[in-house]
Amino acid sequence: MAALACSGEQEGTKRHCCKGEVELGDCGSNGGAGDGVTKDTFWPIVNAAGDKTVVLDMYTQWCGPCKIIAPKYQELSEKYLDVVFLKLDCNQENKQLAKELSIRVVPTFKVLKHNKTVKEVTGAKFDDLVAAIEMVRSS
């Protein structure tokens, strides 16, 4: 996989999840919302979400725009309680999943429904992310 580009350079908490209160581990030092997922936990959580909308924040520890949007992502997770919010640190450990999800730039947000990506937002574009979540939730 090619090295990820930071969009700024190019142009263990408990959460309410689809299966009730779950503890999946902390989200790392990025400070954002959502359950931290790995290559082993991502698809089982997405599958368990059923009809719920799932939003995945793919970030790296070194990405400035990722750190800037993290508090706003946290706010969204508190606003949309019917949506499952997840975070994936696109590090070496999760390289295979990042490749499978076709990640080229961080941050990238995937909005999934019924196990399929239906919207994608690249870069720290908060308004675009909100619009994508709203659209998928209402479909």
Q: Tokens for 66? A: 């990722």
> Could you say which of 6, 17, 27, 63 is catalytic?
63
**Positions of E strands within the chain:** 5-6, 14-17, 20-23, 35-37, 53-59, 83-89, 105-106, 108-113, 116-122
Query: Does the active-site annotation cover 63?
Result: yes
> Could you say which of 6, 27, 66, 90 is catalytic?
66
CA–CA–CA angle 85, 90, 96 (5° rounding): 105
Q: Which residues are catalytic?
A: 63, 66
